[in-house]
Structure 1
């Protein structure tokens, strides 16, 4: 809706104008009235407006002076002059101050509606242009790149939300067209070797390796999207819909750049082809498995053949529940059954199952804030898996990880609770843009909802709702300050249900609307947004 201010010294004229037009149908709203130019300028100093309909012959401040003041102070306003005098000076003043139309009283309903309709079309065009410019600016920002990468990680790691939300977020990050494409994931990392003593280990080269991978993706002109999974700090991942030849060329160029600059030849695994955003998790897992299986044959690029996951998603969830509930016996029995079946089938299937079970447990440990020893991290030294040549050895390794996760952080109970709340806070800060609730978070960290709620408030100093609202609002303020995105866009990106709810919460916290906050940013009297009203 665009706001309209009607200025005329005769109340009956103002009423007549209001009754002549179906304002809502045109997308307009009569936001205010004024009896003369002075009253109108006072109103404009306190309220936003898009269109002004004004008389010319008024007391105190006449139409000529009012038009000049509007043109000087509010050049973006659309002005319509309606007067009973066909006076050359009035017409000249209207033209000089860029009034869109000069109408003579009595103005007809059709005439006024047509004039307003043209102005609405003009305003719509300008708004669309601004939105496109804001979107371009947004997509060039570092914040956009970070959020896009977070969305990629969320797609391949977390439970995917309902279809409508998934499609909307994919559209935000220009990934909606990828829904119907066949894509492949590529995992790349530097191998820890023990054959020679080297001053520069892969661990010390993580940052330059990451920069080279990001540069390679940037140079691909959108053909490859890159992301990093915090669970595997030394690995970088790509997703692409390119043909086999282009994929091979990208891999060769990446290998050459890393070898030339870092002196290490990276190991690279490519996953199976998948179609549909909901299948990206399987594609990502297959690339991880491919990368983990690279070490035994000495090759540095593992192709995607037969990289399909061995463990079904349903079985994975069952095992996760056993670990979450602390049911070690049930976990051991279920894992033994899976290991035995895979061992009897083939060595390759057995090894893939071990890696998949490890990846599941490693993710659970990371979420719970439990640090694994170097010897317990297969992604650091994937060659370890080839030493698990019996079901018993693999079971022992996996049981040890499960027991460690079930036991929780090695601290007293109070410290353990504090550590868990810190992990919950970090999860909120990483996922504030998604639909979060207390029950889901409590289940994720294996707590009763009521106890978790009380503990969260005691440790964090505020309720769960207050905490997540503060996190979302801080991100919203950042977007208001750094971008020109619309309030609808900002609300959606920060996890608020709609723009109206966001605006009301914002005004309650900061004492001013989001739109007015942006206006104040341009003035020297910028207020402190770190001290919201309570």
Structure 2
């Protein structure tokens, strides 16, 4: 079987994470059943609850089977945290303790099953058969075409849809918005608003995804997003417009946008697993009234265009990736907007194509000389404004010999104009890329410097660093891994281990003291991480290094 065939087969199987601190238990459980025959695969195994919680996010598992008694985090605590973070995950608890309190707690935190050791193969098979039936039903509900059609007709009243799309298009007079909203049974209290564009990639569908009409796929994604947002703290309305899902959200504070960005990022990742769809959530600027939603929508569309840089299946907040982007910029011509967008995104050929499209349209337009001059001035003005907003030295782009407007007006044909624009826009694009790379490196450098200064803080994590940098976890994680090749948690662990080695070799301290100095409150967990990193305990590592030094 080829690698691609194996991957497709794995995608059709539900994934299981086994959690137990005794490795032989893994082996026994794995041998008891024909997992693939039942529709499951073992995605991995963890030796404690802390490790399992990290792996559950990384592996996107469907089922977690965990022991109760484990170091660092027990199975009941793990189950509680999994249910808090991943509503759809199924948890099976197995234990050697036949105590009523354990079973009652397992029921309270909505574990699927509570099984006593030693595990009986027939009983375990029956448990997984029940879980598979439940998982199948949940997937069928989301993929059933007839139900999706019915849901769409029932849940999207035409009156509300027309109002909301007209609102983001700026077609409703400001003094009429409140009355229109009331007539449509919509409440727009805010006090803050933001528009999100859910863009579905149809040109490069996921391998193994079932063929489905793009319209129905959009409905499936919309339903998933509505379910997740209904369970969140945000008051959101979702409509379908120009092939995309448009989410209009009311926020309690401006600062809530970072949490909302992370919420949308989780929805994108869930859509990949549940709907087999690649989704980009472009998030616009936060605004202070429904009359400003058109500008937030423009920012959201711009954010979606950055997926070629940051990838799809994630949320992209325009205020984070392009702080200088002006949401109030009144684009007067669509081709000017297109050229500016292509300069921003950073790909050479699409920019050249946009310029060619502009000059071809210009050549066949039969416009007056006066209108031609105004149009060229508009384009150069927007390019200059964009460069200035991004701290670009415009003399490095357009040159310092004479007035740039005069030089552009003196070009004798649209072909000459196209060559001039290509040359200068490519320069501008390169300058923007360099500035963005410098900004990104500075961003990551701040995070690394913060780790170096605060690695001993036991509470240091993604939430802390994102609070310090004032960005969402989704954006931070993407940028940090892109620049360093590591997740933030892996980088922090590696740095703490480097410092631990230095302390081990230079100071005569107990292991628990060193653990505390590098940010670990539990010396046993510190030893576990150290052994996982270096293959031996801290004391053995120190002894081996000292012996090696003496021999040398």
TM bin, normalised by shorter chain, reads 0.3 to 0.5
Q: State the TM-score, normalized to the length of structure 2.
A: 0.32
Q: State the TM-score, normalized to the length of structure 1.
A: 0.33
Larger Rg: 1
